[in-house]
Amino acid sequence: MTVDTATIPTDARGAAIALGNFDGVHLGHQAVLASARRVAEASGAVLGAAVFEPHPRRFFHPDAPPFRLQTTRQRARALSERGVKEVFEIGFDAALANADDRTFVERVLRGLLGVSHVSIGADFRFGRGRMGDAASLRALGAAFGFSVDAVAPVGGAQKISSTGVREAIARGDMSAAAAMLGRPWAIEGDVLKGFARGRDFGFPTANLSLGDYVRPRLGIYAVRVDLGDGVLLPGVASVGVNPTVGALPEPVLEAHLFDFSGDLYGKIIEVEMATFLRDEARFADVDALKAQMKQDAIDARAALARSLTS
């Protein structure tokens, strides 16, 4: 665990921070951010968020299935939208994993960041073997000169959590995921070269790798696509392995934008997964697949229209 105070701008030290993984920046995370923001506004401190990278789950379980709800870029953007001025990425390595709670506070929170306040979720744990909790952080904060607020879970008995969002996505319940996130779940990435089969079928697609994103239920979705200008274009997308025309080794996202023509290769786009329409299926032949693709487009347009009026 290397601590280099020179990497932190002078005007960023003394921030009131929210501390956690914040994968998804869901409503529970937003409550923690709101707590830190209230302190920052009252004290005149900078509002910051301290996050761990890589995610501790990936560090401890490098071979675990993909699970992320956001890329680091999406997370930083979502934090900024909640008023965060400084995002501190704390490198999670073996030294940090083996540090006790006091060492983490002394070297990272006080020594590196010089925090004035820390807000956490009430169930936040830190330090070797998850030895630190809200009570120990309060005690250590008092010793090192910063205040601490532990924020109660949001959602009552059905506590909103990143795990809950992942479970909703895995079963294709995009409405439940959006309700917990406070916005539609979205996949962002570089548009990749594909086999151009969609174009041959009359449905050109923008293809994205799922990378370390949690795998959504395989199938067809109504989507809205941001090409980088903040304008959401309607479309239909497939998440799957294309079993009819030659199964792929890993699922990919293929998004067809309605009434759009243009070359998107190499561009970074974000695909909002609005509504799950149907499961992925293998068709008897290409003609049957083409007919279903036409119906999927009709169904997606209808689902998007309903979402605008609901």
Specify the pLDDT at position 1: 42
List 226's β-bridge partners, or say none. Answer: 232, 270
Asked whether residue 201 carries a pLDDT value surpassing 80, the answer given is no
142 and 228 assigned to the same domain: no
- Report the range of poorest mean pLDDT among 16-25, 85-94, 301-310: 301-310
Asked whether residue 11 carries a pLDDT value surpassing 90, the answer given is no
More confident residue, 129 or 9: 129
CATH number at 233 reads 2.40.30.30
217 and 297 assigned to the same domain: yes
Residue-wise DSSP of 31-100: HHHHHHHHHHHHHTPPEEEEEEES-HHHHH-TTSPP-BSS-HHHHHHHHHHTT--EEEEEE--HHHHH--
Specify the pLDDT at position 104: 97
Residue-wise DSSP of 221-233: EEEEEE-SSSPEE
CATH number at 112 reads 3.40.50.620
pLDDT band at 307 (very low <50, low <70, confident <90, very high): confident
Tell me whether residue 46 is in a domain: yes
- Asked if 182 and 155 touch (Cβ cutoff 8 Å), the reply is no
Pick from 107, 132, 151: which residue ends a domain?
151
122 and 247 assigned to the same domain: no
Tell me whether residue 72 is in a domain: yes
304 and 199 assigned to the same domain: yes
Pick from 126, 151, 176: which residue ends a domain?
151
Pick from 105, 136, 151: which residue ends a domain?
151
140 and 19 assigned to the same domain: yes
Tell me whether residue 234 is in a domain: yes
Asked whether residue 5 carries a pLDDT value surpassing 50, the answer given is no
For the chain, the domain total comes to 2
Omega into 234 within 30° of 0, i.e. cis? no
Average pLDDT, the chain: 92
Alpha-carbon 162 to chain mean position = 9
Residue 20: give the domain boundaries. Answer: 5-151
Asked whether residue 4 carries a pLDDT value surpassing 60, the answer given is no
Specify the pLDDT at position 200: 56
What is the average per-residue pLDDT within 179-201?
82
42 and 135 assigned to the same domain: yes
- Report the range of poorest mean pLDDT among 36-50, 105-119, 179-193, 197-211: 197-211
Specify the pLDDT at position 8: 78
Tell me whether residue 134 is in a domain: yes
Specify the pLDDT at position 10: 81
Asked whether residue 173 carries a pLDDT value surpassing 60, the answer given is yes
114 and 234 assigned to the same domain: no
What is the average per-residue pLDDT within 175-204?
84
Asked whether residue 80 carries a pLDDT value surpassing 80, the answer given is yes
Q: Percent of the chain beyond pLDDT 90?
A: 83
Q: Percent of the chain beyond pLDDT 70?
A: 94
pLDDT band at 2 (very low <50, low <70, confident <90, very high): very low
d(CA 304, CA 225): 12
pLDDT band at 198 (very low <50, low <70, confident <90, very high): low
The model's pTM: 0.92
